[in-house]
Amino acid sequence: MALTKVLKRIFRTFVAEPLKIIAGSKAGLAGFIGLLLYVTMATIGPYFVPLDTRPKPEKRYLPPSWEHPLGTDFEGKDIFSQIVNGSRDVLFVAFLAGTLTVLIATLLGSIAGFKGGLWDSIIMAVDELLLTIPQFPLLSVLAALVRLNNITLAAVIGALSWPALARAVRSQVLSLKERDFIEAARALDLGTWHIVMVEIMPNLMPYIVVSWIFSMTSAIYSQVGLVFLGFVPFTSHNWGVMINQAWTWGAIYYKTSVWYIISPILAITGFQLSAILFARSLENVFNPRLRG
């Protein structure tokens, strides 16, 4: 049937082919597996590793052991369980904020660059306004007005992060739009949407992917500072809260307490490393010319 054929084709282009390409690069595969682990930890991890909530002062700041793979915190609670239970909220906000940032930035940057003229002026004016508005005062005013949850937090982070990326995208588009193949497309009257999405975007893909990864990491770290504003729900397993607290409590200065600050950072670093390695495969997927 035609439907089965279409489904088979979708499966082939979007699942089978990419998987083959990913498996082709060892680093990309490693990254892919890493990300899979994080997703697993975020979704079903908490069921296997329940959160340790009881204060046990005598077990404070223990070094890593079989019982406590990442040691214990200031109250003797297991750090590993906190990391696992915190991953869901943290990664969710990171993913949402990072994606929002990249979507808005790419869209607005491309339109500004490609269309030029009034579109460019207006979009860039808004861009520069958001870029230069003092963020901390703005956030503290917002904190007093809005009681936040994950989604609004991600929206706020996304709304404040897109301007810088948009300008970078715009500059690339400015360069690309004078190329022959774009001129050809314009001559063929293919329409703005088509030109932007089909001709221009794939060329920007590697840069956008890397920017997306950095946006996600930066979203996680911005939560550390936002704790002071009461923006972040103050739960002990939120990685940003953990870093904030470990920092305030000087955990970095003592050899066993240092795990309290290293653990969330290791988790974040591992996430970024996996994503960067995986991006290598994504480059192959998006830009066939590089596959050789």
- Of 76-115, binders to other proteins (CB under 8 A) are none
Does 134 bind other proteins (CB under 8 A)? Our answer is yes
In the complex, least distance from residue 190 CB atom to other proteins, rounded to whole angstroms: 18
- Select from 70, 227, 242, 285 the one that contacts other proteins (CB under 8 A): 227
Using DSSP, state whether 271 is helix, strand or coil.
helix
**Segment lying near other proteins (by CB under 8 A), choices 32-40, 85-93, 149-157, 222-230:** 222-230
Of 23, 141, 151, 197, which one interacts with other proteins (CB under 8 A)? Answer: 141
Of the candidates 212, 129, 247, 119, the one whose C-alpha atom is nearest the C-alpha of residue 173 is 119
290 binds other proteins (CB under 8 A): yes
Q: Answer yes or no whether residue 164 interacts with other proteins by CB under 8 A.
A: yes
- What's the CA dihedral at 65, 277, 217, 37 to 10 degrees? -50
Residue type, 166: A
- Residues in the chain, total: 292
Nearest to 204 by CA among 161, 171, 159, 158: 171
Nearer to other proteins, 1 or 58 (CB): 58
DSSP 12: I
- φ, ψ of residue 78 to 5 degrees: the values are -65, 130
User: Of 11-19, 86-94, 122-130, 151-159, which part binds other proteins (CB under 8 A)?
Assistant: 122-130
Smallest gap, in angstroms, from Cβ of residue 155 to other proteins?
A: 19
The residues pairing with 120 across neighbouring beta strands, listed in sequence order, are none
The Cα 14–Cα 291 span in angstroms is 17
Distance from CA of residue 183 to its chain's centroid? Answer: 34
- Which residue lies nearer to other proteins by CB, 43 or 121? 121
Residue 118 binds other proteins, judged by CB under 8 A: no
- What residue type is assigned to position 266 of the chain? L
Listed in sequence order, the residues at least 6 apart from 256 whose beta carbon sits closer than 8 Å to its beta carbon are 61, 62, 63, 71
Comparison of 40 and 175: residue with beta carbon closer to other proteins: 175
Stretch that binds other proteins, among 4-12, 98-106, 186-194, 229-237 (CB under 8 A): 229-237
Considering only 39-47, 89-97, 188-196, 214-222, which stretch makes contact with other proteins by CB under 8 A?
214-222
User: Should residue 150 be labelled a site residue for other proteins when binding is judged by CB under 8 A?
Assistant: no
Region of 11-19, 78-86, 94-102, 272-280 interacting with other proteins (CB under 8 A): 272-280
Between CA 188 and CA 128, with CA 118 as vertex, the angle to 5 degrees is 120
208 three-class SS: helix
- Applying CB under 8 A, among 15, 44, 138, 184 the residue interacting with other proteins is 138
3-state secondary structure of 58: helix
Interacting residues with other proteins between 25 and 84 (CB under 8 A): 25, 27, 53-55, 57, 60-61, 74-75
